[in-house]
Amino acid sequence: MRTIAVISCFCCLLAASAQADPTTGFTLDSLTFNIQSPYNLSHAARYTDVNGVYHFWVFNTDNPFEQGNTTEPRTEMRFTPDYTSGIHQFEADYLIPNPTSGVCVFQIHTGDAQSTQYGATTFIAHMEGADLRHYTDTILAHNVWNTWFHMNVIHNMNNHTIQAFINNNRVWTQKDNGSPDFYFKCGVYTEQSGPGTGSHEMQDFIKNIKLWSK
């Protein structure tokens, strides 16, 4: 009886430690996007897609993505279309090489027409040193340089709540900024206004990108 009880307890621990798949109940959407990269360079100078592994890189001395634009250098996927209702999810695997720092690797961006009123973004996954942070404050994952990790971000427009998962563990929940319009972005976007020192070159590799909704 003691052996059975021990085995039963062990099985309960395994079940408790198993993480639910955040995509359960969602429907896979088509992957449509535009590439934004320094306006004076071809996309291929800062972006490649090799067998489904997307490589993004940018230098802090690069130009913005449009001539006359005042934002920092970036090489990003801008997913389309915007979403205004329902529940939407971004999923991907990331590899961020050392010493990439001072850079945004994922954004939930406010709709362009609404960004002046609500702010440009409502969620950012940002590299500060080797740590992945929410903007430059709360740590989402420690020491992720040079190691593949899995990220899911769910944005529920029904209750305006955002949840972030690293390797299927929920690490963040917050309310969005209240805008009626959003879109996802991923890649590298220079943001060196945080407490740390940004790197001259910023890059990441992203694969298994999926968009989901329900």
pLDDT > 80? residue 11: no
pLDDT > 70? residue 16: no
122, exposed or middle or buried, with CB in 10 Å at 0-12, 13-18, 19+? buried
Contact 102, 192 (CB under 8 A): yes
- Cα separation, 188 vs 200, whole angstroms: 12
What is residue 4's predicted lDDT score, i.e. its pLDDT?
43
Q: pLDDT tens, 66-124?
A: 999 989 999 999 999 999 999 999 999 999 999 999 999 999 999 999 999 999 999 99
- Cα separation, 199 vs 197, whole angstroms: 7
Query: pTM score, two decimals?
Result: 0.88
Confidence category of residue 136, pLDDT binned at 50, 70, 90: confident
Contact 170, 52 (CB under 8 A): no
Identify the residue whose tokens are 């961006």: 109
- Spatial neighbors of 159 by CB under 8 A, at least 6 apart, are none
- Cα separation, 103 vs 96, whole angstroms: 11
Domains and CATH numbers, the chain: 32-213 (2.60.120.200)
- Cα separation, 162 vs 176, whole angstroms: 6
Q: pLDDT tens, 34-56?
A: 999 999 999 999 999 999 999 99
Q: pLDDT tens, 145-195?
A: 999 999 999 999 999 999 999 999 999 999 999 999 999 999 999 975 544
What is residue 197's predicted lDDT score, i.e. its pLDDT?
56
Query: Could you tell me which of 79, 83, 80, 132 has the C-alpha nearest to residue 105?
Result: 132
What is residue 47's predicted lDDT score, i.e. its pLDDT?
98
